[in-house]
Amino acid sequence: MSKEIIICENLNKTFETSRGSVPVIDNVSLTVLKNELLVLFGPGQCGKSTMINCMAGLEPATGGSVLVGGQKVVKPGPDRGVVYQRMALFPWLTVMGNVEYGPKVRGVPKKERRERAQHYIELVGLKGFENSYPNQLSGGMQQRVGIARAYCNEPDVLFMDEPFGHLDAQTRYLMQEDLMKIWEKEKRTIVFVTNNIEEAIYLADRIVVMTNCPTTIKKEYEIRLPRPRNYVDTEFLKLREEISAVVDKAL
């Protein structure tokens, strides 16, 4: 159970731009355990997406290394799925087309991938919307499709980069609750990025607080509250206050 699946060792990332070097990640060492829900929590523009991109292999690290499942990450791969903030669905494909895309690329036969996609579409609560196009769905439903799409490729780890960041508060609560249900039904390793403290405490097994850019780990919290968590529980509020005091203000 407590097997390490992601290991970042002295991870560094500096972007070379026309206006000089921009260091964004400063010596981050981090391990994520199998089936753990780890939240990267930090202010806006601190380098959270860059962390995700380095772990997913979309950006090369400029120092240190990332291991996923024992393999050094050098490029993106189907063992690592990503759910993005928004607009990442293929608008020309239906919900079914989007969700079955990963297995399709890998050559899974049609019947099998359809069944699998159907399973995940139902898991995220979108039964009946298989043939809808993304622009016919609400923002929350689109994010559900994004989650189903990432799940359907059956990766070892799922990265979620502020997936609920642009949703209204009401929908956001609902999505958090449903993500918990999904994760409880189908346990996966999830690295979830957010700059919302409530969301972090509601979801996390462990919260890693990141500093402002160039980002590094400021502090870690194991969250042992029983699930489903209650946003106004005294323990919850206490943690919220404690972590809020630690995190940097956004620049």
Residue 118 CB, shortest distance to another protein, in Å, is: 18
Residues interacting with another protein, by CB under 8 A?
Answer: 56-58, 75-78, 80-82, 84, 87-88, 90-94, 101-102, 105-106, 133-135, 149, 153
What Rg value do the Cα atoms of the chain yield, rounded?
18
Residue 240 CB, shortest distance to another protein, in Å, is: 31
Q: CB neighbours of 223 closer than 8 A, spacing ≥ 6?
A: 201, 204, 205, 206, 207, 239
Q: Cα–Cα distance between 95 and 92 in angstroms, integer? A: 10
Residue 13 CB, shortest distance to ligand ADP, in Å, is: 8
Answer yes or no: are the C-beta atoms of 13 and 181 closer than 8 Å. Answer: no
Angstrom distances, CA of residue 117 to CA of 114, 127, 189, 191: 5, 11, 20, 22
Residues interacting with ligand ADP, by CB under 6 A?
Answer: 15, 17, 22, 24, 42, 44-50, 213
Residue 22 CB, shortest distance to ligand ADP, in Å, is: 5
Angstrom distances, CA of residue 1 to CA of 4, 33, 40, 181, 182: 9, 8, 21, 20, 19
Residue with Cβ nearer another protein (135 or 234): 135
Residue with Cβ nearer another protein (56 or 207): 56
Residue with Cβ nearer ligand ADP (51 or 182): 51
Could you say which of 49, 153, 194, 212 contacts Mg ion (CB under 5 A)? 49
